[in-house]
Chain A
Amino acid sequence: MDYASLYWTFIRINIKAKTEYRAAFLLTFLSRGIVWSTEFALIWVLLYKFQSIAGWGQYEVMFLYALNLTSYSLAAFFCFHPFTKLPAKIQSGEFDELLTKPMNPLLYLMSREFTASYFSNVAFGMLFIGICISQLKLSLSAWDFFFLFITLVGGTLIQAAAFIYTAIPSFWMVRNTSIAQLLLFDFKDFIRYPVSIYPASIQIVLTLIVPYAFINFYPAQYFLGKQDFLMFHPLFQYLTLAVGSVLFAGALLLWNWGIKQYHSTGS
């Protein structure tokens, strides 16, 4: 049987369900958009009097925000509900039922719980990238746009891997939502700003251990023509896709291993 079409059907149903109520969809779209726009604008306000932080100007820091928002939202389409709700599913036993289905549990979760409302985030993220490119008067060639695409794909893989890694411990420990919260949201606060403002130890953590810096800090320098590579090699600006692929592959392996080890809570 053609599984791909089945997964695609799940996604389509989700989109249809969300767009069925046009007014509600539009309201969500706009109210979320207002929040992203506010956050985006606040960076502008933050740097209004100071003009720059660690050599990064207003729109350059905003570009970091836009890259992070866009890649996060692309990952959240498929990952937000499946993985943030996984502990609850394991606790209630809903996850056991899912394992009995003749499908890959990961793909099933990702397509069945595809969240169409992230269209708003993605749209605003792209809009913000566009605003930054035009405000910074960057002249990008076709190749640059292709590389921007590659960077976003890599960033999305890093963000998706983060979702998966933080959900995996719940196979063994029921209720660990706050650890996930810490890694997914609080820790990611670091990359809202150029990583160069932090102490060296944090720069190393963000580059080598929890490599969030590859989502925006390193690749952004390619587009902005910057040379702010801390103690690392300038080659790092091209590595986002590689880092994302390795992390994501690792997440998949760990996920499969976790499922094999998994014992139901029995509820």
Chain B
Amino acid sequence: MTRYTLFAMFAMTSFRMHSVYRSNTVILALGSFLRLFVLLSVWQGLFRGKEEIGGITYEDMMLFVLINLLVGTLTYSRIGSTIGDRVVSGTISTDLIKPVSFKSYMIADQWGENLFRFLFSAVPACAIYFIFMSVPSIAAEPARIALFLISVTCGIVIIYHIHYLLGLTSFWTGNAYYIDWFMKAFYELFAGTFVPLWFYPQWLLQIGAFLPFRLVTFEPIAILAGKTGLQEALGILALQVFWILFLLLIERWVWSRAQHKIFVQGG
């Protein structure tokens, strides 16, 4: 069996595992819709009496929030805390003997879960919104849509690797609880998923520019919404590729040391 069919198999297993709770999906979708509704009410409230702020209109924000919800379920990851928990409990030893690289297994597992959330939570929530509220217009040309798809894929690769790397740190620290909290805080603050970076104060933006988090969902959506020029969009893609290579390099190094670490502990 090739690596890819194995990967797909692990992803499908995880997808099926989550589908067991299918009766929950209506409520899951309703929950997503509620959050969507709250967020859009907030933006509506903020834009009340204002045509645009810094070139951004309420229409832009609607598109941003909806796509953010869809992409957000795909970039969701608890890889870090999963690895941490397994290191702490010792079950990681069975993961390491699986006939697929540990990283691929972790990512496949997450991918299956995310696909489930995407199909049964985010898509229905958006559908409810389209039916009962309104449909935002996407006036993007095909080139932008293609660039968006490429960069959002890169974004997903980046965030999975960051989580994976953070998870590996638990080989040394021996616990896991800080991983999720840490990621939640930094990601929310610098990714621009809740408040898009267009509305950030300059000093905070400058800190965020050096971090990879904005490349995950914010920059791809900015490309799609036409707020980034095509020239700049290519620059964003180059930056994403740079970050992916950089993260892969660190990961290789950390992984080789982590393996030694686990031998020392005796598994």
Report which A residues bind B (CB closer than 8 A): 24, 27-28, 31-32, 34-35, 37-39, 41-42, 45-50, 53-54, 178-179, 181-182, 185-187, 189-190, 192-194, 197-198
| A197, B44: Cβ atoms closer than 8 Å | yes
Q: By the criterion CB–CB under 8 Å, are A178 and B28 in contact? A: yes
Known contacts A38-B189, A178-B24: A197-B41 contact under CB 8 Å: yes
Decide yes or no whether B229 CB sits under 8 A from chain A: no
> Which of A27, A37, A178 has the most chain B CB within a 10 Å cutoff?
A178
Specify the main secondary structure of chain B where it touches its partner.
helix
Q: Are A42 and B195 neighbours in the complex by a CB distance under 8 Å?
A: yes
**Nearest-Cβ distance from residue A37 to partner chain B, whole angstroms:** 8
A181 to B35 alpha-carbon distance, docked (Å): 13
The 3 A-B residue pairs with the shortest CB-CB distance in the complex, in nearest-first order: A197-B45, A31-B181, A186-B31
Q: Which residue in chain A gives the minimum CB-CB distance to B33?
A: A186
What would be 10 A-B contacts, judged by CB atoms less than 8 Å apart? A31-B177, A48-B201, A50-B50, A50-B53, A178-B31, A182-B30, A185-B31, A186-B31, A190-B34, A194-B45
Considering only residues 162-208 of chain B, those with a C-beta below 8 Å from chain A are 175, 177-178, 181-182, 184-186, 188-189, 194-195, 199-201, 204
Residue of B nearest to A47 (CB): B46
Given A178-B24, A182-B30, A186-B34, residue A48 in contact with residue B199 (CB < 8 A): yes
Q: Which partner residue on chain A sits nearest B182 by CB separation?
A: A31
Q: Name B's A-contacting residues (CB within 8 A).
A: 21, 24, 27-28, 30-31, 34-35, 38, 41-42, 44-46, 48, 50, 53-54, 175, 177-178, 181-182, 184-186, 188-189, 194-195, 199-201, 204
Inter-subunit contact B45/A46 (CB<8 Å): no
5 more contacts with CB within 8 A, not counting A53-B46, A178-B27, are A28-B177, A41-B189, A45-B201, A46-B46, A48-B201
CB of A71 to closest CB in B, whole Å: 19
Say whether, besides A31-B181, A38-B189, A42-B188, A181 and B195 are in contact (CB < 8 Å).
no
Smallest CB separation, B183 vs chain A (Å): 10
* B188 adjacent to A190 (CB under 8 Å): no
Q: Give Cα distance in the complex from A181 to B27, angstroms.
A: 9
**A31→B27 CA distance, assembly (Å):** 30
Q: Is the CB of A38 within 8 A of B185?
A: yes
With CB as the reference atom, state the residue of chain B lying closest to A24.
B175
Instruction: Tell which of B175, B185, B195 touches A46, judged by Cβ atoms closer than 8 Å.
Output: B195
**A49 B54 Cβ-Cβ under 8 A:** yes
Chain A residues near B30: list those with CB within 8 A: 182, 186
Complex contacts, A41 vs chain B, CB 8 Å: 189
List residues of chain B with CB within 8 A of the CB of A182.
Answer: 27, 30-31, 34
Question: What is the bound-complex CA distance between A185 and B35, given in angstroms?
Answer: 10
Q: Are A32 and B42 in contact (CB under 8 A)?
A: no
Cβ of B62 to closest chain A Cβ, rounded Å? 15
- Chain B nearest Cβ from A192, distance in angstroms: 7
CB distance from A195 to the nearest CB of B (A): 10
Contact yes or no, A34 B185, CB < 8 A: yes
Cβ-closest chain B residue relative to A196: B45
Residues of chain A with a CB closer than 8 A to B42's CB: 46, 53, 193, 197
B27 vs chain A, min Cβ distance (A)? 4
In the assembled complex, how far is the CB of residue A250 from the closest CB belonging to chain B, in whole angstroms?
Answer: 24
Please judge, given known A-B contacts A32-B181, A39-B188, A42-B189, whether A49 and B41 are in contact too, CB under 8 Å.
no
